[in-house]
């Protein structure tokens, strides 16, 4: 039995190796690979940070079915040819990509660092310059301050627009919706680095304000009648609260008493709450004024509590 398990495991391992080998050779080398422009910007989001921007062309005809994020990448090497960062490409063909370094990760400014558009070693196995890899050594003219980021991005958009035959800029020369999509995919956070290059659509809302009359509230107030009003006036003369708050607490107290009477008879808090609702509404109608609004809120709250109680009681 052990030998059988061993042989099965061995065959499975060999099968996985063949599958992996097939994946390595699946995509093949591009027709050409090149780097059009490469720039480094600093102080884009924080002092001393860096944004490495590359316009590249990983040219395939036809375009592979494999996802470029799984086969190609941009790689950043320092002047000592040590790998610093990598990021998968979003697209094949002529496109753009960027790598952002925080101030803590930033490299020596103005040095001969390298950017590479390259196939992933795990996919291609062997990489060769000009075949499935292209390297650009950065020179002094490739280093720019953050104030030039927006203008250079718009220039790059114009280059892509001419090649793609897709409109990326609006009538004012700013990135439209399509342009914003591509550039934010290439450089996430670009809208915070150079917000001035994005087209912004704004509209003004002119609300129609409705002037509500207070007739109904005043009618409720008149429902209280002189006797109820005298009682309220007498209480407010002794208790330092407003007439509306006093009415509110009288109604709540009455609800508790009325609900307690029902509960003592049926032993069910749900029926006690239902029976107390008419007292709340009727009391609010009699007391009138602003208290009707307060009580309406209480009714809603009590309805929610009852709903929860009713539902939980079924579990």
Residue-wise pLDDT for 202-255, tens only, equals 445 555 555 555 555 555 555 555 555 555 565 555 555 555 655 666 666 666
Angle made by CA atoms 40, 138, 174, in degrees to the nearest 5: 35
Proportion of the chain above pLDDT 90, given as a percent: 54
The reported pLDDT for the residue numbered 125 is: 87
Domain boundaries, the chain: 27-197, 218-312
Q: Does domain 27-197 correspond to CATH entry 2.30.30.100? A: no
pTM for the model stands at 0.59
Helix (H) or strand (E) holding 101: strand 93-101
Distance CA 93, CA 56 (A): 8
Which has the minimum average pLDDT: 66-80, 191-205, 281-295? Answer: 281-295
Question: Cα-Cα-Cα-Cα dihedral of 156, 159, 165, 170, to 10°?
Answer: 50
4: number of Cβ within 10 Å: 8
DSSP code of 214? -
Which has the minimum average pLDDT: 75-79, 216-220, 306-310? Answer: 216-220
DSSP code of 175? B
The residue-averaged pLDDT of 119-127 equals 94
Distance CA 73, CA 172 (A): 33
Which has the closest alpha carbon to 123: 72, 76, 83, 172?
72
> Is the pLDDT reported for residue 22 higher than 60?
no
100-114: pLDDT as tens digits: 999 999 999 999 999
Q: Which residue has the higher pLDDT, 263 or 201?
A: 263
157-179: pLDDT as tens digits: 999 999 999 999 999 999 999 99
Distance CA 153, CA 179 (A): 10
């Amino acid at each position: 039995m052990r030998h059988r398990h061993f042989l099965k495991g061995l065959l499975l391992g060999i099968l996985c190796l063949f599958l992996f080998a097939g994946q390595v050779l699946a995509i093949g080398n591009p027709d050409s690979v090149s780097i059009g422009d490469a720039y480094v910007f600093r102080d884009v989001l924080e002092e001393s940070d860096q944004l490495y921007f590359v316009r590249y062309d990983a040219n395939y005809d036809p375009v592979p079915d494999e996802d470029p994020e799984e086969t190609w990448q941009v790689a950043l090497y320092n002047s000592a040819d040590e790998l610093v960062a990598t990021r998968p490409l979003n697209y094949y063909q002529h496109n753009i990509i960027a790598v952002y370094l925080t101030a803590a990760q930033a490299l020596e400014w103005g040095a001969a660092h390298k950017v590479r558009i390259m196939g992933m070693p795990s996919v291609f196995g062997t990489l060769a310059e000009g075949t499935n890899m292209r390297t650009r050594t950065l020179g002094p003219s490739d280093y720019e301050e953050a104030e030039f980021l927006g203008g250079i991005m718009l220039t790059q958009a114009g280059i892509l627009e001419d090649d793609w035959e897709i409109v990326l800029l609006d009538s004012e020369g700013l990135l439209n919706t399509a342009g914003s999509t591509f550039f934010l995919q290439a450089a996430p956070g670009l809208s915070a680095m150079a917000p001035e290059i994005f087209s912004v659509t704004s509209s003004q809302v002119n609300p129609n304000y409705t002037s509500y009359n207070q007739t109904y509230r005043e009618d409720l107030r008149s429902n209280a009648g002189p006797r109820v009003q005298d009682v309220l006036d007498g209480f407010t003369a002794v208790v330092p609260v407003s007439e509306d708050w006093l009415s509110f607490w009288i109604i709540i107290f009455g609800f508790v008493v009325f609900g307690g009477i029902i509960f003592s008879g049926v032993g069910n808090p749900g029926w006690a709450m239902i029976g107390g609702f008419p007292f709340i509404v009727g009391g609010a109608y009699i007391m009138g004024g602003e208290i009707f609004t307060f009580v309406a809120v209480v009714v809603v709250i009590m309805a929610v509590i009852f709903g929860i109680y009713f539902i939980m009681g079924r579990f």
